[in-house]
Amino acid sequence: MLNQHKPLTADRIAPLLRGRFGRPYLWSETYTSTQDVLRDTGLPEGALAVTEHQTAGRGRAGRQWEDEPGTALLLSLLLRPPAGAEAAQLSLVCALAVAETVERTTGVGTRVKWPNDVLVEDRKLAGILLEGREQTVACGIGLNVNQDAASLARAARLPAASLRTVTGHEHDRAPLLALLLELLEARYDGWCRDGLAPLLPELERRDALRGRTVTVGDAAGVASGIAPDGRLRVRADDGTTVLVGSGEVAVGGERGPTVSD
């Protein structure tokens, strides 16, 4: 079996782990959702659930997350952010780590679409789902790796991409997962210490929405960057700026038709 199709079992991943993320490492060929594996377990920060296929993979607001078995990274990471931290910012922290992992592995430039998508050429490569109660957050990450165009086509309203459709070849998911965990840990530790501010230039450089016309909730206008607290700045026609904390961004702008998730 080619490496890229080998399951991400603990015996393959454990030797690649460098930090505390991925310990303990829970893997099964199939889960309903990796998010459910970590729920109410009392496991320590860094615990990770990984699978080859989800029978009920989910996105935000009850949406579905689709996968082709054995081709994606599907994982949930348990985090216990410090009291007082703004946990919603973790979606940007994770998106940045995913973007960097993809860039280092493939050399392909990525963009972050606030608040939780990683895009390549306006196509959705990865999505992030935060679910939590009190100081326990399950960060779910779905990253399309080896799907071909035909198996991605079913996925989405926003066109989807995989590393394979972008680079033209398949990728070994094991080193990709190990690098992602390493970068997640570095970004997360930095965020726990210093907050989001030091990450803003990296996010700004990859901001998929900046300068585009957006509608999110009651706000409509031009996206004007991410504020230091992680909210999206939207500048209305009358010149006022609204800060949006969460929601669905519908984009209509320079580069094509309206997309809404």
Residue numbers of the site for ligand BT5 (CB under 6 A)? 33-35, 54, 57-61, 63-67, 74-76, 116-117, 124, 127-129, 140-142, 144, 155-157, 160, 261
Half-sphere exposure at residue 70, Cβ-oriented, CA atoms within 13 angstroms: 8
* Shortest Å distance, C-beta 95 to ligand BT5: 10
Q: In angstroms, give the least distance from the CB of 27 to ligand BT5.
A: 13
HSE-up of 261 (CA within 13 Å, CB side)? 13
* CA–CA separation, 186 and 193 (whole Å): 11
Q: How far apart are CA 113 and CA 208, in angstroms?
A: 5
The whole-angstrom separation of Cα 203 and Cα 10 is: 32
Q: How far is the CB of 245 from ligand BT5 (least distance, A)?
A: 16
CB of 211 to ligand BT5, least distance (A): 21
The first and second tokens of residue 8, run together, are 């991400």
The residue (of 4 and 76) whose beta carbon lies closer to ligand BT5 is 76
Q: How far is the CB of 53 from ligand BT5 (least distance, A)?
A: 11
User: Which CB, 123 or 235, lies closer to ligand BT5?
Assistant: 123
Q: What is the CA radius of gyration of the chain?
A: 18
Query: In the complex with ligand BT5, which residue's Cβ is closer, 28 or 241?
Result: 28
CA-closest candidate to residue 39, choices 142, 127, 131, 128: 131
Q: Which is nearer to ligand BT5, 64 or 240 (CB)?
A: 64
Do residues 250 and 258 touch, judged by C-beta distance below 8 A?
Answer: yes
**159: part of which helix (H) or strand (E)?**
none
Q: How far is the CB of 84 from ligand BT5 (least distance, A)?
A: 26
Residue with smallest beta-carbon separation from ligand BT5: 127
Of 37 and 196, the one with the shorter C-beta distance to ligand BT5 is 37
CA 145: distance to chain centroid?
13
**CB nearer ligand BT5, residue 138 or residue 219:** 138
Between 34 and 146, name the residue whose CB sits nearer to ligand BT5: 34
CA gap 200, 56 in Å, rounded: 34
CA dihedral 96, 99, 104, 109 (to 10 degrees): -130
Least Å distance, CB 58 to ligand BT5, is 4
